[in-house]
């Protein structure tokens, strides 16, 4: 059986590293954070688990407190396990045609609503929010498995939706 690569996908931590998140990322070879990090310490702690690629969200300002993370880009393109991945915080800000660009996965955040959708041969993944609860949504992250350059995603519920 061909080997596969497991990637952790996180978004909208808003400065909160929930205790449920790190165990959910056990065994990943890379972590992608789709913005609204909220605190550079989050990225430092995630980097202890696996290498991190992160983009900035609408709450991530370029302040001195961010140190080396202050240069987070608004978008990022990365190739992992032979699959081209494009990261943008808010999907409406997508500034290219993923199918024409040969992108296999578009990762976004911002809405706090986890979703996995295939469109024209491109996997669109929003891991939801791994930070403070918003609305009545669950707290989630995602695992992205790439095998033979083919991506598959799974949403992991860290804390169920409902009350506060």
pLDDT tens for each residue of 87-112: 999 999 999 999 999 999 999 999 99
pTM equals: 0.92
pLDDT in tens, 129-154: 999 887 788 999 999 999 998 999 99
Q: Where are the domains of the chain?
A: 4-159
Residues 84, 85, 86, 91: is their CA dihedral positive or negative?
Answer: positive
Nearest to 34 by CA among 51, 19, 18, 52: 52
Would you state the structure tokens that stand for residue 151, as one six-digit string? 């991506």
CATH of 4-159 given 3.10.310.10, 3.60.21.10, 1.10.10.10, 3.10.580.10: 3.60.21.10
Would you state the structure tokens that stand for residue 147, as one six-digit string? 């095998």
User: Which H or E element spans position 10?
Assistant: strand 4-10
The more confidently predicted of residues 161 and 154 is 154
């Amino acid at each position: 059986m061909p080997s596969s690569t497991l990637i952790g996908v996180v978004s909208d931590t808003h400065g909160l590293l929930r205790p449920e998140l790190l165990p959910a990322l056990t065994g990943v070879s890379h972590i992608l954070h789709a913005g609204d990090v909220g605190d550079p310490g989050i990225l430092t702690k995630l980097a202890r688990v696996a290498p991190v690629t992160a983009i900035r969200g609408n709450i991530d300002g370029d302040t001195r407190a961010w140190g080396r993370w202050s240069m987070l880009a608004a978008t990022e393109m990365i190739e992992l396990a032979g699959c081209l991945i494009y990261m943008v915080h808010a999907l409406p800000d997508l500034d290219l045609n993923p199918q024409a660009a040969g992108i296999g996965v578009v990762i976004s955040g911002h809405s706090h609503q986890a979703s996995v959708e295939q469109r024209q041969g491109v996997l669109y993944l929003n891991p939801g929010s791994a930070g403070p609860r918003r609305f009545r949504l669950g707290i989630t992250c995602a695992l992205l498995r790439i095998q033979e350059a083919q991506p598959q995603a799974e949403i992991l519920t860290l804390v169920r939706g409902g009350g506060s």
